[in-house]
Amino acid sequence: MILPILILALVTIQRLGELVIARRNTQKLMAEGGVEKGAAHYPWMVGLHVTWLAGLWIFAWDRPVSFAWTGVYLALELLRGWVLLSIGSRWTTRIIVVPGEAPVRKGPYRLITHPNYLVVASEIAVLPLVFGLTTYAVVFSVFNAAMLCVRIRTEEAAWAHSASLTS
């Protein structure tokens, strides 16, 4: 019973730490003239992620742990690290576009347009599977996919608008 609690605690600490980094990066980007897009859907996205993690605390804290799925989750965390290192101080949980800047195109961003969203979508599916919560993984993956449709469309429009201002 200690292992699931340890895993959930580490993920919770990681997410809280990322919120601190995201807030700092957001403030920096806004100070550089950044403009936030998609603020209306942001609370819904936060609510989705908070509900996902809180639900895992409720349903998974005493469940057996699959070491195979834990390995997959750890591999995703390595990818997450690569994403965060590649985007650096431009990473935030909000959509902030600094006029005149182009989207990041290094690291995994060379290979796909939205690697962070791919990692997050994978984490939302895989972490519940670590605890054998297949239905939970499917339900939250569907909700997250709907959120990502809004999010990616908003982000793409923000970058397209920014590019039109600089050309």
Q: What pLDDT band is residue 144 in, cutting at 50, 70 and 90?
A: very high
pLDDT of residue 161: 83
Residue 80 amino acid letter: R
CATH class of the 2-166 domain in this structure: mainly alpha
pLDDT of residue 166: 62
Q: What pLDDT band is residue 45 in, cutting at 50, 70 and 90?
A: very high
User: What gap in Å lies between CA 71 and CA 27, rounded to an integer?
Assistant: 35
pLDDT at residue 64 tops 80: yes
pLDDT at residue 167 tops 70: no
Mean of pLDDT over the chain: 95
Q: Classify 104 in phi/psi space as left (phi over 0), alpha (psi -120 to 50) or beta.
A: beta
Pair 162, 95: CB distance under 8 Å:
no
pLDDT digits (tens, 9 = 90+) for 83-118: 999 999 999 999 999 988 889 999 999 999 999 999
Q: What's the rounded mean pLDDT across residues 18-29?
A: 97
pLDDT at residue 119 tops 80: yes
Nearest to 49 by CA among 143, 129, 115, 114: 143
pLDDT of residue 29: 97
pLDDT of residue 100: 86
Only one residue has tokens 């919770």, namely: 12
User: What gap in Å lies between CA 41 and CA 76, rounded to an integer?
Assistant: 25
Q: What's the rounded mean pLDDT across residues 41-64?
A: 98
pTM: 0.93
DSSP helix/strand/coil, 96: strand
User: What gap in Å lies between CA 123 and CA 11, rounded to an integer?
Assistant: 10
Q: Where are the domains of the chain?
A: 2-166
pLDDT of residue 162: 78
